Amino acid sequence: MAAIEQRKPVGCTMGITICPKHGRSSFVETCQHAGREIEQGKVPAGHDLALLGHLFVCDTCFDQPGFDRFADLAEMPVEKAIDDERWQLYEAACDRLEGREAFCLHCVRELGSSLDP
């Protein structure tokens, strides 16, 4: 059973968590469903939206608030993406995700997921 540092996310922005295994580390925010899979040591199924940080949402949540509209936002440089009008929509969509969780990025990658650093 992997011990995964967990803390409540403060928002949809990039932050740092202190992992007992990896020290200071970036974290991945997830919806509650993907978070539950990670807690169980499984590779979560869903979509990784890498904007300021990583936001990992399961298929169901990805469909609900229309996250697919933000997929190409993740392809843009952050400085540009922040100025894009979709950014605020993205943040609003994030706020609608209930029960978000945050995990150490390295721990999630060790589960075998293909998240970029």
* Dist CA 103 CA 76 (whole Å): 24
Q: Does 33 bind Zn ion (CB under 5 A)?
A: yes
Residue (of 46, 62, 45) closest to 96 by Cα position? 62
Binders in 40-59 for Zn ion, by CB under 5 A: 58
Nearer to Zn ion, 80 or 99 (CB): 99
CB of 50 to Zn ion, least distance (A): 17
CB of 36 to Zn ion, least distance (A): 9
User: Whole-angstrom Cα distance, residue 54 to residue 28?
Assistant: 5
In sequence order, the 6+-apart residues with CB closer than 8 A to the CB of 72 are none
Q: Which is nearer to Zn ion, 10 or 45 (CB)?
A: 45
User: Which is nearer to Zn ion, 1 or 77 (by Cβ)?
Assistant: 1
Residues that bind Zn ion (CB under 5 A): 19, 21-22, 31, 33, 58, 61, 104, 106-107
